[in-house]
Amino acid sequence: MLESDVFGRSETTSKIIGDSAYNLVIGLVLFWGFFVNWAMVLNIDPNFLRSINMWVFLIGYLGSVFYGVYLFNKSDKPLVSFIGYNFVVVPFGLIVNMIVSQYDSEIVIEAIKITGGVTILMMMLGTIYPAFFKKISGALTAALLAVVIIELFQVFVLGIHHDWIDWAVAAIFCGYIGYDWGRANQIPKTVDNAIDSAAALYMDIINLFLRILRILGRRK
């Protein structure tokens, strides 16, 4: 989980917008990210992506994501933040493309539905209980770090992957959605902050979707 400086903002010189407009911008920015990913899945051959040298792909992926996060974290200009957001959306879309291509469309659609329902539920909980999610934020970070280390060790050293890892990561990102949504509504409501909040939520939701997809894929 890439930590965002966005939610530490308490002051702004930018124009404050209403709650409805703020939430609308978050929704539209999220929709744009998911639309771009959908278009990439339809139009980019996953076999071409798999043919790219693994290290070249990994370096490009990480470079783009970290640059995008840097842009939307450090900028208070909506356009610059939106550009940074797209530097995150595109490499995530490439990963989504390669993973989605391994599953039947019915499973993918079911994963999308479940992810959407869980996201709405966690946003509601994040709105009602922001203090609770703030309290568990440290535990979420520690748990995610531990699970990632265990997963990497299992895959690259032991050559195995235990199913509980996917359930654990999915649960952690459920917590992050509630946490980030709660924080998004506690910072100054500007267009730039809405874009930056959407970027953080996008990463939470995509990671949740990918884990749900893997869980459903095994069950089917």
Domain containing 124: what range?
Answer: 16-219
Rounded to the nearest 10 degrees, the angle between the axes of helix 163-184 and helix 105-128 is: 40
The structural domain count of the chain equals 1
Distance, CA of 90 to CA of 49 (rounded, Å): 13
Read off the DSSP letter of residue 15.
P
Q: What confidence score (pLDDT) does residue 76 get?
A: 87
pLDDT of residue 156: 81
Strand, helix or coil for residue 39: helix
- Reply yes or no on whether the pLDDT at 3 is more than 70: no
pLDDT tens string 95-123: 999 999 999 999 999 999 999 999 999 99
Both tokens of 88, joined, read 């995150």
DSSP track, 115-139: HHHHHHHHHHHHHH-HHHHHHTHHH
Residue 99 lies in a domain: yes
Within-domain flag for 183: yes
- Does residue 69 lie in a domain region? yes
Model pLDDT, residue 154: 87
Question: What whole-number distance in Å separates Cα of residue 188 and Cα of residue 178?
Answer: 18
In a domain, 9, yes or no: no
Which percentage of the chain shows pLDDT scores above 70?
94
Q: Any idea which residue has 């539905």 for tokens?
A: 113
Residue 51 pLDDT more than 70? yes
Report if residue 10 sits inside a domain. Answer: no
Whether 2 is covered by a domain: the verdict is no
Domain membership flag for residue 3: no
Q: Is residue 77 part of a domain?
A: yes
